[in-house]
Structure 1
Amino acid sequence: MKKTAYQKELVIKATQKRKGTDNNKKDVMKIQSWLTLFSIRNPISGTATAIDGDFGPATERSVKNFQSFNNLTKTGIVDQELFNTLSFGLKDAFEKPLISNNLRDLMVEVAENHLQQHPFELEIQGQSNSGPWVRSYMDGHDGSPWFWCMGFAQSILDQAASATGENFKTLMPLTYSCDTVGNTGLEKGLLSRFSKIRQDPSIIKQGDIFLIQKSRLDWTHTGVITAIKGDVIETIEGNTNHQGSRNGVAVMKRTRSYRRSKIDVFSIEPLV
């Protein structure tokens, strides 16, 4: 795999605890981030806390609440073993053994694996598009300017292609820009325009990458096509929300009408 930034999100340099001599601000912020992400999936857990890098009494209580919720000894201390439990969803999304044997099925399988772990962004120090999931998809970058839908789509492509021994960068450059991928698709003859797709829906195949067109050379959002059903595509996409925003908060499964939206499609066929 080419996109390996997620590995840094799975480790802390030393055990972190209240008034710990080895406390590290970045590690504490990682812990606070995972505690808050856990609270999004488990709102009764009482693990949401400020993400400020200070392992104070609130963080200690949040850790104890996490331990209690998971039937673990309530120490309030985070060593690597406990951090593994906190961050398990990320590791599972990127490293779960795959069972599909062709790229198109792998694209769907990998995207589903990520979806099941509820990737979600955080707001940290006033910056949206932040947190361990975003940094994993965006090669270590996060913060409000870092729209991460293409980072997510390329992470899925990278993981799936790597499972077949292929390098996704032979298909498209590593980028966070929908425009770059769209123009690459035009140059290589791999991008089908929405008008052509409406005339011949058989062009669309599962595992391909959709791009929502704003104007002829401007695309605003992307994701992975997981199924085609009548006039609708089913997708899994990052940095979206229930309204289908291009700057939402999570990875979500959506349905989109290719007859009502200007949806262009980038084919992954050269790697199949």
Structure 2
Amino acid sequence: MVQLLVAGSYTPTRIRSELTFPGAIATGATGLKVKRVQEWLTLHDCALAIDSDFGPVTELQVRSFQAQVGIAVTGAVDNTTWDHLVEPLVKAVAPIAPGATLSSTINAVAAQHVAQHPREAGGDNRGPWVRAYLGWDGTPARWCAGFTCTAMEQAAAIHGVAPAIASSASCDTLADRAKAANRFVAGGGANTPPAKTIPPGSFFLVRATATDWTHVGIVAGAGPAAFQTLEGNTNDEGSPDGYEACARARNYRNKDFIVW
């Protein structure tokens, strides 16, 4: 297990599998462990083709990364190099002090993740961050709900309680579960918040129809005409199928909420 983890880190199986050192990796190696090295190199701005083949280009970029972080430049991936590669995910799941409410802790956890700049690597909806949030990746792996629910799960673990609703990769399922738990709040107009207060850490849902929601994220702060967000699988334009997790702002048009 990665040496940088500390007691209380949030590491369900899907995250632990992304952090566990798979053994020494060097020129001539192939397969999933090489793919993961190449993904993390790309995420650290040592870009290369993610082809699961540890050839001279991968060795060159490993050397570049090792020099970048100030460790022995060998061109091979040992445990120390691996720990530096996966350090952003380690920092994202590190324990924090619980907030006054579960909702405030969800907000703080989501901000901690966004600070590590989760984003895709190797293609649409692919890479270690997507797998950490969903347990799988690939073009259909729209990971906004995975990001949002991971923050909820991590915050619940910090408080020592069960999540208020079960996680899901589906926005529609989250909406249905919130309704069943009496935690669903219908939105207002384009610039009008709902009558009920929306505290930081609440979820927002982008509504397509009365029974279909296309995107979900976390409310970081709600104002009188707009609100700030922390959300995954988006971009600066607010796409519901972007490439990163980021902080942005939205209006209230076609938005519903899940309040804790």
Q: Same fold judged by TM-score > 0.5? A: yes
Kindly provide the amino acid, as one letter, of the partner of residue 83 in structure 1: W
Matched, 1:183 2:176: yes
Match of 1:122 in 2: 121
Is the 8 Å Cα contact of residues 2 and 158 (structure 1) preserved in structure 2?
A: no
Contact conserved, 2:98 with 2:158, CA < 8 A, in 1?
Answer: no
CA contact (8 A) 2:205 2:217 kept: yes
SS at match of 2:192: helix
Distance in 2 between residues matched to 1:226 and 1:83, nearest whole Å: 33
Which aligned runs of 4 or more in structure 1 are off by greater than 4 angstroms? 199-202
Q: What's the counterpart of residue 132 of structure 1?
A: 128
The offset of 1:245, in angstroms, is 0.5
The C-alpha deviation readout for 1:147-206, integer Å capped at 9, x for no partner, is 0000110000000111111111xx222210000011122223211111389364442111
After superposition, give the CA deviation of every residue in 1:116-156 in whole Å (9 maximum; x if it has no partner).
100001234xxx10000000000x21000010000110000
| 2:201 alignment counterpart | 207
- Given the alignment of the two structures, is residue 38 of structure 1 paired with residue 54 of structure 2, yes or no? no
Alignment of 1:111-260 (within 5 A): 111-124=110-123, 128-138=124-134, 140-168=135-163, 171-195=164-188, 198=192, 200-258=194-252
The one of 2, 9, 15 aligned to 1:6: 15
Please say which of residues 200-209 and 147-156 is displaced more in the overlay: 200-209
3-state DSSP of counterpart to 1:130 = coil
Decide which of 34, 38, 41 is 1:28's aligned counterpart: 34
Q: Which has the higher mean CA deviation after the structures are superposed, 146-155 or 181-190? A: 181-190
Counterpart contact for 2:24–2:77, Cα < 8 Å: yes
Offset, 1:267 = 1.2
- In structure 1, distance between residues paired with 2:12 and 2:27: 34
Q: 1:89 to 1:96 in 2, by over 3 A?
A: farther
Asked if 1 retains the 8 angstrom alpha-carbon contact of 2:185 and 2:196, the reply is no
**Distance in 2, Cα, partners of 1:238 & 1:51:** 22
Aligned-residue CA RMSD in angstroms?
1.8
Higher helix share: 1
TM-score normalised by the chain length of structure 2: 0.91
SS in 1 for 2:246: strand
One-letter amino acid of the counterpart of residue 266, structure 1: I
After TM superposition, give the deviation of residue 4 of structure 1 in Å.
3.6
Q: Following the alignment from structure 1 to structure 2, what is the Cα–Cα distance between the partners of residues 27 and 90?
A: 17
Provide the residue aligned with 1:86 in structure 2. 85
Partner Cα separation in structure 2 for residue 118 and residue 2 of structure 1: 19
Identity of aligned residues (%): 33
Measure, in 1, the Cα distance between the counterparts of 2:152 and 2:109: 9
Report if the CA contact (8 A) 1:135-1:142 is conserved. Answer: yes
TM-score (norm 1): 0.87
